[in-house]
Amino acid sequence: MNRIKQIPLFIVAAILVGTKTYIVYRFYFDLSIETAFQEIILFINALAISMFIFFIAVWFRPKRQKRFIIITAIVMSFVIIANLMYYRNFTDFVTLPTLFQFNNAGDLGSSAVSLFYISDLLLLLDLALIFMFIKLDWFTIKEYSGMFRKRIVAVSLSAIMINMALAEIERPMLFQRGFDREYLVKNVGLFTFHAYDAVITASTQSKRLFADGSGMDEIDEYVNDHVREIEEPIDLTGIAEDKNIIYIAFESAQSFIIDEELNGEEITPFLNDFIDDSYYFENFYHQTGVGKTSDHEFVIDNGLYSLPNSAVFFTHAQNEYNSLPKIIEEEKGYKSYAFHANNGSFWNRNVMYETLGYDEFYDVESYDFEPEDEIGWGLNDKKYFEQSIDLMKDIDEPYFAKFITLTHHFPFEIPPEEASIEPHDSDSVTLNQYFQTARYTDEAIEQFINQLKDEGMYEDSIIIISGDHYGISSYHNEAMGEFLGKDITPYEEAQLQRVPFIVHIPDRDHTGTLSRLSGQIDFKPTILNMLGIENEKDIVFGNDLFSQNRKPFIALRDGRVVGEDYLYASGNCYEHETGEVVEGSYCDDIREQAEQELNYSDEIIYGDLFRFYDFEEGEIVEE
């Protein structure tokens, strides 16, 4: 017992918190560990960073050592648990810019509560032990000699260096691939990732200050060679001219629910029928990042990518953008309106919509409802569309109207009396409830389309319906695999990032399902072509969806790339048709071009480069 008491408390604390960190990595996060070497790195990085942080205590006097150890253990535990709750919703890790989005937390309601499990209380066991050890004086807390301090520093630095060396072997140029946060956490740990993220955030925030627009020539040349030149639109050019454009964002809808049944019933019966009289893109991918719905809005309005570690709507709402609402008003006199029964400040929409050129934003204050009219996050979709019809009667034509639904939102809770389909039966409550709210929103959209017809708004409108981002994260892969009857490999998980995209043109005979590879980045050029707007000098990274000749890949914001022949995900290259793993070199071309596009888009946003660009002339503005 005396020998045990001689062990410094900060070493015991480092081992306890490091072990907890590893347990969370291994059994709470859904990290893909494929080899014993990756397992070793995961264990080492959990202990190495814990040692590095707690070993700082050696420099303090005994009284301050206690305080340092307690505060450090609490802070590290908070970071771990906060990331765990965030991961359960987004299958991602918290970045510094998302901390400034916590004003959104007030709108989360039961969503946040459902992310915390009773079993998570076990993650506080190390804290309880540390407090007990201090109170019972079980381990040593004293002032240490200079030689001991040097040895402790050498040990902690050696552990970090070993971790970095192994990570470099496993994943060369790891920090140059910061868009893949899972790889960073797996190889260098959660806390090192947060330190790296802080450096990157500081760096990107300074880019605008030093930007001069010189990079636009290279970006313009790339867009001209890889995007503009391959456009070959089919016969839909100008088909939407003078018609209203109604866009409906079906919150959290993924393509796997289309034409799918649960307990012998169609999950989305209306959309299934609606697709028969529409153009349906079955290989359409969302390209959102941490900004989720707001990212999807940014991508479709601008033809640029979302950011890797923050929501553009928050961090770059004051930039100059050549957005869809601005172009269609200038070229065709269209007014743009946004309808969303949530707080105007949520995702900073009340600021960003003005930047993007929306003429009016109908937020929660525009709707009249009682608590019993709420489902999940707010006003139920049926009441929302019903009141939106009345608001639409007063807007100017022709218009672009964007509707964002709310009911089909995590955690997908709905009163039993409002559900018209039985829940799924699996170990995932989230997946079980997902189908019920999907059916409810499907019914709400059907009601809306019928109201458009009743009010005489249907015939003169192009109606577009799309999912905004995934709803079921990889945290529920086991239950999802059981429902789909297949193992959810990284390849299958990438396929689950497809969202429905439907273009409905009333009284058009020629329709059908199109299998071409496509994504949200293609929305803006598609609308411009349908309105007959030639925008040859625009800077976008997407193609008209109806073009015969298109880019051969779709870049997802998390580093995955979907190509026509191959798909890259989780460090592996897959044959797209079969899902079989093939040699990595087959994916090199699409990976390199995708990374180049993402970097160019990031440069434009971080540097606010459009303020230096003349879109009429297609050249940098002379100062």
Each domain of the chain, given as residue ranges in start order, spans 2-207, 233-551
Task: Report helix angle 292-302 to 349-356, nearest 10.
Answer: 10
Which two structure tokens, joined as six digits, stand for 610?
A: 């459009």
What's this model's pTM, rounded to 2 decimal places?
0.79
pLDDT in tens, 31-69: 878 788 989 999 999 999 999 999 999 998 888 999 999
Q: At 554, which amino acid appears?
A: I
- Going by C-alpha positions, the residue among 269, 86, 100, 109 that lies closest to residue 190 is 86
Residue 199's CB: how many other CB atoms inside 10 A?
12
Q: What percent of the chain has pLDDT over 90?
A: 66
3-class DSSP assignment, residue 525: helix
Residue 326's CB: how many other CB atoms inside 10 A?
18
Question: Is the CB of residue 473 less than 8 Å from the CB of residue 89?
Answer: yes
User: Which positions ≥6 away from 586 have C-beta within 8 Å?
Assistant: 565, 566, 573, 575
3-class DSSP assignment, residue 441: helix
Phi and psi at 573, nearest 5°, equal -105, 130
3-class DSSP assignment, residue 506: coil
Indicate left, alpha or beta for 570 from its phi (over 0: left) and psi (-120 to 50: alpha). left
Around 399, how many Cα atoms within 13 Å sit in the side-chain half-sphere?
A: 20
Residue 613's CB: how many other CB atoms inside 10 A?
21
Please tell me which residue in 293, 407, 430, 526 is annotated as part of the active site: 293
- Paired sense of beta strands 378-379 and 399-404, if any: unpaired
pLDDT in tens, 271-324: 999 999 999 999 999 999 988 999 999 999 999 999 988 889 888 988 999 999
pLDDT band at 107; cut points 50, 70, 90: very low
In sequence order, the β-bridge partners of residue 137 are: none
pLDDT above 60: residue 104: no
pLDDT band at 514; cut points 50, 70, 90: very high
Of 78-92, 429-443, 485-499, the range with the lowest mean pLDDT is 78-92
Question: Is the CB of residue 327 less than 8 Å from the CB of residue 533?
Answer: yes
In sequence order, the β-bridge partners of residue 362 are: 339
pLDDT above 60: residue 76: yes
pLDDT above 80: residue 190: yes
Q: Which residue has the tokens 């200050």?
A: 209
| pLDDT for res 208 | 76
Residues 333-355: what's their mean pLDDT? 93
Handedness of CA 283, 93, 82, 129 (dihedral sign): positive
Which two structure tokens, joined as six digits, stand for 192?
A: 């090192």
pLDDT band at 234; cut points 50, 70, 90: low
Question: Is the CB of residue 295 less than 8 Å from the CB of residue 312?
Answer: yes
Query: How far is Cα 470 from Cα 521, in angstroms, rounded to an integer?
Result: 16
Which two structure tokens, joined as six digits, stand for 549?
A: 């000749």
| pLDDT for res 102 | 52
CATH number for the 233-551 domain, one of 3.40.50.300, 3.40.50.620, 3.40.720.10, 3.50.30.30?
A: 3.40.720.10
Number of H helices, E strands in the chain: 22, 21
Query: How far is Cα 439 from Cα 454, in angstroms, rounded to an integer?
Result: 23
Task: Report helix angle 62-90 to 190-210, nearest 10.
Answer: 80
pLDDT above 80: residue 105: no
* DSSP code at position 533: -
Query: How far is Cα 281 from Cα 155, in angstroms, rounded to an integer?
Result: 56
Which two structure tokens, joined as six digits, stand for 445?
A: 């959209």
Question: Is the CB of residue 397 less than 8 Å from the CB of residue 462?
Answer: no
Q: Which residue has the tokens 């869809």?
A: 324
Average confidence score pLDDT of the chain = 90
Q: Which residue has the tokens 């797209």?
A: 576
Of 233-247, 271-285, 351-365, 422-436, the range with the lowest mean pLDDT is 233-247
User: What is the enclosing helix (H) or strand (E) of 18?
Assistant: helix 9-23
- Going by C-alpha positions, the residue among 110, 99, 117 that lies closest to residue 24 is 117
Question: Is the CB of residue 394 less than 8 Å from the CB of residue 359?
Answer: no
Question: Is the CB of residue 446 less than 8 Å from the CB of residue 470?
Answer: no
* DSSP code at position 488: -
Q: Is 293 a catalytic residue?
A: yes
Q: At 314, which amino acid appears?
A: F
User: Which positions ≥6 away from 185 have C-beta within 8 Å?
Assistant: 25, 29, 31, 93, 193
pLDDT above 60: residue 357: yes
User: Which positions ≥6 away from 36 have C-beta within 8 Å?
Assistant: none
| pLDDT for res 111 | 58
Q: Is 331 exposed, middle or buried (0-12, 13-18, 19+ CB in 10 A)?
A: middle
Between residues 89 and 382, which one has the greater pLDDT? Answer: 382
User: Which positions ≥6 away from 117 have C-beta within 8 Å?
Assistant: none
pLDDT above 70: residue 411: yes
pLDDT band at 101; cut points 50, 70, 90: low
| pLDDT for res 573 | 97
Between residues 286 and 181, which one has the greater pLDDT? Answer: 286
pLDDT above 70: residue 180: no
| pLDDT for res 235 | 66
pLDDT above 50: residue 106: no
3-class DSSP assignment, residue 574: strand
